Every structure is written in C-alpha cells, then in structure tokens.
Copies of this chain bind each other. A is one copy, B any other.
Amino acid sequence: MGATGAVGQVFLDIVQQRKFPASQIRLCASARSVGKKVTVNGEQIAIEVATPKLFSEVDIVFIAAGSDISKAMAPIAVEKGAVVVDKSSAFRMDPNCALVVPEVNGDDLVGHKGITSVPNCSTTPLVMVLKPLNDRLKVRRVIADTYQSVSGTGVEAIDELRTQTAQIVKGEPVTKQVYPHQIAFNLFPHIETFKENGYTTEEIKMTMESRKILHLPNLAVSATCVRVPVMVSHSESVHIDFEGRITPDEVRKILSNAPGIKVVDDPSKGVYPTPLMAEGKDEVFVGRIREDASNPNGIAMWLVSDNLRKGAALNGIQIAEELLRRDLVGRKARV
C-alpha cells in the first residue's frame, strides 16, 4: 500500500534488487492511481484498491501511505491473517507492535501480534550505531542534530524543492505548497508537529523509539530535527557520552564490524559521508569519528543514510525477510 509514493517506488526497486521471494505481488494506492500499471520483475501489475478480501489473499502487507491509512487498514489486514510491516508512526510505540531494525533487535519479532513497524528514518541509523557501542560500554547520553532531506516528506516535497529552485534560477516569485517556509536555499528546525514541551513529534520519536528498540527505557536522548534543501539522505551530527573512556580507534573498529554500517572516515583526504554519496545505498555511513571535545568520555561522529532505503523501504523488506527466515509469517505457518 502506497506503491506510487516516494517510499513505495524505492520499495519496488529493492524487491527486485534483492529478489524478494514473493510468489505474487499486489499493489495498492489511492483511488486516483487505481488501474495504473507498474512494472515489477518484468511484469505489469495494475494498482488496486485495498480491501479486506485482498488482505485475506496475501501473507505480508507493507504499508507506506501515511499514519491515518495505517491506523484504518492495519488491524483489518491482521484480522484477515496477514502480517503487517508498517512504515508509519501509527503503531510504533504500541506495546503490541514489534518496532524492529533487524540488525539491532530482530529477536523482538518473536511472538509478534501481527503488526510490525519500521522505525522513523532518523532513528534507524542512530540505533544501528548505538547498539554495538552500548554492548561494549554503556551509553549515558546522546545528542543528535539532524540534516533531513525533503524526500522524507514525500514526492510532493521533492517537487516543491525542484519547483522553488527552478523559480529562483529563473528569477520568478517562489510559491509554497508543502512547507510553511521556502525550502530552496533555506532550512528550518521543524519536522512534523510541535508539542507542549517545545519538541517536535519527529524529535520525540528519536528519543522514544531509540529507547524501545535498544531496550534502554531511560536512555537520555536529545534531538533537533532540521529540514534541509537536499533531495535524498538524512545526515546526523551525533555526540555520545559513555560511562567511561573509549577511543575513536576502538569506535571505528566496533562500527566497522557492525552489520549494515560502513565507516567512511579519512577526513584529511576529504573522505566522510555526504547525502549525495549515500543516496541509493543500503548502508549507514559513519565518519568524522573523534573524541568529543567537550567530554573526555564522549565521542562525536557524523552519520548519513538513504532515508528512503534503510530509513524506510529497505528496513521494511529486511523485517519481512527476517519474519520469513524465522518462520513467523502467520498464513505461511497456517498453510
């Protein structure tokens, strides 16, 4: 569901690249796309409307169509016997939902209640780095300031950045439809909705989801989430305080051996991750690993990952692969 969206399109690319073992793929999207055809694995697939009947005919339902759709449809899909892999934030903090980054907490899929969720695109790279480090030395505090691309909002925001940029290049007035402020040649510390405590829901997610995924219910995490005029990939400047001293070399070694992470860290040669180099790649890229200048027990680093892939579609497919590997897909078990 959401086959024509920014995440949905990448999802279908990855399904083909990874040869995901589907005997049949069915695609859903909003009413205006119904009947439109999309080619997957050389086969033309017509977009359908999602119905309870359709859910009863499939094993796994991927939803990347916004929280409201997830809230309405996921319980129906589960009732009809499918396992849901949901990209939205609708169920992530629900105790009955398995919120999973397979490299970090794949075990949390065991005993799932039908709905599994893909974490927020800025949470996933952070927990992938925190997990192996916390296994070595307890993490006390995390500060993360983000640089998030417009594709995190969706295709309409990619269009907005393109349109505004072209308007400025041509000297025309800038029009705004998606964001409250111009995004071309500008940026703003505002992603999703502000809450009473002055944090956005995006920032709160980074704290709450990290705690749930890492099983560290009291982990101190502070985030500032910023939208930047970049098309794809989210970057994060991260400062981690540990309960003791750990050297940058040791951190580099631990992360080099961690699944799904690629250390790209030779800054004096201009080698560090950038959004452009991470676009279309599966790994979380880590560079600028150094002692935090404000704390001898701290490490600072720079993370970049493709928010549409590891931040969304890829992680969803990896959850499905993990469900299959562990024989946790309900219908399959029933058959």
Q: Give per-residue flags for A191-223: 1 if the beta carbon is below 8 A from chain B beta carbons, else 0.
A: 000100111100100010000000000001111
Chain B residue at smallest Cβ distance from A182: B276
Interface residues of A, count at CB 8 A = 59
Chain B residue at smallest Cβ distance from A298: B222
A228 at the interface (CB under 8 A from B): yes
Interface residues of A in 284-328 (CB under 8 A from B): 287-295, 298, 300, 302
A186 at the interface (CB under 8 A from B): yes
| Distance, CA A207 to CA B295, complexed state (A) | 13
Other-chain residue from B166, B181, B194, B223 in contact with A293 (beta carbon distance below 8 A): B223
A12 at the interface (CB under 8 A from B): no
- By secondary structure, the A interface counts as mixed
| Distance, CA A212 to CA B224, complexed state (A) | 28
A230 at the interface (CB under 8 A from B): yes
A276 touches B186 (CB 8 A): yes
Other-chain residue from B289, B290, B294 in contact with A142 (beta carbon distance below 8 A): B294
| Distance, CA A299 to CA B229, complexed state (A) | 27
B274 touches A185 (CB 8 A): no
B270 touches A180 (CB 8 A): yes
Q: Which residues of B contact A180 (CB under 8 A)?
A: 270
| Distance, CA A270 to CA B147, complexed state (A) | 18
A1 at the interface (CB under 8 A from B): no
Q: Which residues of B contact A189 (CB under 8 A)?
A: 235, 237, 272, 287-288, 302
| Distance, CA A117 to CA B96, complexed state (A) | 60
**What 5 pairs across the A-B complex have the smallest Cβ distances?**
A198-B290, A222-B294, A220-B294, A145-B145, A145-B237
Mind listing 24 A-B residue pairs with CB under 8 Å? A143-B239, A143-B292, A145-B145, A145-B224, A147-B187, A185-B276, A186-B276, A187-B274, A189-B235, A189-B272, A189-B302, A190-B270, A194-B268, A199-B290, A199-B293, A207-B293, A220-B293, A220-B295, A221-B293, A222-B292, A222-B294, A222-B298, A228-B228, A229-B229
